[in-house]
Chain A
Amino acid sequence: MLEALKDRCSRLRRHPLVARCVEHPFWRHLAQRLRPIARQFDGPRFHRFEIVFMRVLFAYVVYQSMPLGDPFSSGAMTLSNHLAPGKLQEIVSDPARDNALRPPLLPISQMLPNSEAALTYQDQNKPNGIANLVDLTFFSKPAFINALPWIVIPCLLLYAAGIGLPVALPLLTLFSIGSRTLYNSQGYIHHGYQMLSLILLAQTIVVLWHTFRGDWRAAFGFRRAERHQGRTVWDWMIRYSQWMIIICYVIAGVIKPIRSDGEWFKNSHYIGIQVVKTHRQNYYSSLEEKWNIPEPEVAKFMLKDHPNLVRIFLSCGVLLEIFAFLALYNRFLSLLIGFALVLFHYFNDLMMGLYFYGNEKLDWIFLINLPFWIWWLFFRRRVRQEQEVGEVEPAAAV
C-alpha cells in the first residue's frame, strides 16, 4: 500500500503544473535550507552502551507499568522484609525520606521494582479505543492474571538483551495497550501511561518494518545491525521513542491555546482554582486530614497575591511543552530540555499534587540519557578530537 502511495506521489509530482510549482526557485531554495535541519532531527547515531542502558532501563519501567499483581506488585517490600524487616516500609511511608532524592530524582517508592496491581474490571461499560472492537475483560480473569508474568517477564528479558524483538515487542505493546485501554474503559481516563504505550508502539513498528523490509536477522538480534539510510534499527528505535515523548509534550502544549480560544495565557492564574479542586479531591478520596486545608497557600498565591507572576511562570511551562521538539535537534538540547521537563513535572507535583512519575522516568532514560554524558565527560578523549558530540562512530548494538 505504501509503495502504491509513493508511486502516486511521484506521478503527481511529475504532473506539469505540480512540477512547475515544485521546481520554482523559491521551493528549491527553501528545501535546500530545510533539508539539513530535517536531517539533523533524525538524530545522532547512538553508541552500543547507550542503547543497552536504554533497553534495560526501559524494560524496568515497562515492568513497573504491567498489571502483574501479587507478588510482583509488592515484590520490593516482600524482598526487603526478608533482608531488613520494616526498614523499607519506614522509608516509603515517611514522605520526607521517600522524597529525599527529589528533586531531581523520583520518590524512592517510585523506583522500587513493583509492578502495577492486577486489574479487577469485570466489564468495560465505557469502551475506549480497541475496547470498541475487542472484549478486554480477559485481563481481569484469574487464569490470565496468573499467566501474564510468565509471558511478560521473558519478553522483558529478551527485550533487555536485544534478542527476539519482533516477537517480544508486539506482545509487550499488546499487553500495555490492552490493559490500559481496559482501565480507561471504565468511564474515567487516566493519562499516566500514554507516553509509555506510544513508545512501545513506535518501537514495535520500527522493528517490524526492519524485519519485513530490512534485515530480519539484525532485527531479531542474530547479527550485527547494518545501517539503512545512515542508521541502524537501534538508532531508529531510540529516535522514534524520543519522538513519542516529545510528541506527548507538544500535544499538551498546543491543545491549551486551542481549547481556551487563545485565552490560556490570560486566564492561567485561574489554575489556582484547579489547585483548590485538587486539594479537595485529594481530601474526599480518603478523608486524609493532611489534605483538609480550607485555604491552600498555593491557590492564594496564584489567585490573589501574584497573579501576573503566575501567568508568566505558567506560560513558560506551556512554551516549554510546545517547543519541546527542539530537544531532538542535538544531544545538548536534549539534555537541557530533558532536565527542564523533569523540573516542570516537579513543580506540577509541588504546586498541585499532580504527578507523572512514568513520564519523568522516560525523560531520564531517553532525553537526559546520563550514561552518554558520563562517557562524554570522562572517556571522550579516547575518541578522535575532530568528531562532534553525537557524531562519534558507534558500534552497532547487537
Chain B
Amino acid sequence: MDGLFGLIAVVSLIGWIATRYSIWCLPFVVSLAILAEDDFYPLSYFPMYSDPDESENYLYVATFDEDPTKHEPIPIRDLTGLSAPKVKKMWKSYARDFADDLGKKDTKLTEKEVNEAAEILLDEFREVAEDRGQELPDHLALVEIWIVGTDEGGWTENLRILGAQPAELLEPGHTGIGMKPEVARTD
C-alpha cells in the first residue's frame, strides 16, 4: 500500500508542477498524510474510528490499599491534566517503545514486561502531576478494560491490571484478569 501511495504522491506532484491546477494538491497531500500516519504534525491520517470491530479498550488510573484488583479510580485529569483517552494513547506509545527496546512487538510482551512498562508510565504520571503541583497516591494501578460485543447486541467489560506501584503488591506476572465487577454483562 505504501508503494501505491508513494506513486500517487509522485505522479500528483509532477502533474501539479506541469499543469499548475490546484486539484493536484488533493491526491498529493492525501497520499503524503497516509504515508506519514501520525508521525509528522501537521500531517495526520486521522485513524480514529477507522477500523471498528467487536472489541475496544480503555484505561484508567486507580488507587488501592493492599490488593490492586480491589481499587478505586482517581480523577486523573484533575491531578495531571491528562484525560483517560490520553492515558490510553500514552500507554500504547510507551508499550510500543518498551517492546521496541526488547526487539519484539508490543502484542508479544509477557505479563511481567507489561507490568514493567506500566510502571514506567505510572512514574511519568507522577512527574506530570508534580509539574502541576499535585501529588498522586503512593499506591497506584494502571487498569485496562476490554469492551467486547456479544452476538445478542450487548457487550461485556473485562478488567486487567497492567501494572501497580509499589510493584511488590502485584503478584509477579499477575494482571488480575476478570470481569469488571460493576458492569458484568449487558445483553
Contact = CB atoms under 8 A, between A and B. Distances in A.
Interface string B86-103: 101110011001000000
A258 B41 contact: no
B18 A273 contact: no
Contacts of B104: none
Interface stretch (A187-195, A333-341, A371-379, A387-395): A187-195
B75 interface: yes
Interface residues on A, range: 35 or more
A281 B58 contact: yes
A128 B41 contact: yes
Interface stretch (B105-113, B148-156, B168-176): B148-156
A270 B53 contact: yes
Given A188-B89, A240-B22, 10 more contacts: A129-B40, A191-B46, A191-B48, A254-B34, A256-B49, A260-B52, A264-B52, A270-B52, A273-B147, A284-B84
A246 interface: yes
Nearest to B149: A273
Contact of B56 (A269, A277, A287, A305): A277
A274 interface: yes
A5 interface: yes
B42 interface: yes
7 contacts: A128-B40, A191-B46, A198-B42, A239-B22, A254-B34, A264-B50, A277-B147
Contacts of A125: 124
Interface stretch (A35-43, A52-60, A68-76): A35-43
A285 B76 contact: yes
Contacts, number: 206
Contacts of A267: 52-54
Interface string B17-53: 1111111011001100110001111111111111111
Given A240-B25, A259-B51, A295-B186, A194 B44 contact: yes
Given A180-B41, A186-B90, A281-B88, A250 B30 contact: yes
A146 interface: no
Contacts of A239: 22
Contacts of B93: 126, 187-188
Contact of A276 (B19, B46, B48, B155): B155
The 10 closest A-B pairs by CB, nearest first: A304-B153, A188-B89, A197-B42, A284-B60, A281-B84, A187-B90, A270-B52, A252-B46, A38-B21, A187-B93
* Among B39, B58, B89, B157: residue with most chain A CB under 10 A: B58
Contacts of B81: 120
Contact of B26 (A193, A246, A300, A303): A246
B155 A273 contact: yes
A208 B25 CA distance: 17
Contact of A177 (B18, B41, B45, B51): B41
A273 to B, nearest CB: 5
A251 interface: yes
B183 A294 contact: yes
A5 B48 CA distance: 37
A137 interface: no
A122 to B, nearest CB: 6
B83 interface: yes
B145 interface: yes
Contact of B52 (A194, A255, A258, A268): A268
A46 interface: no
Contacts of A2: 17
A243 B25 contact: yes
A380 interface: no
Contacts of B155: 273, 276, 299, 303
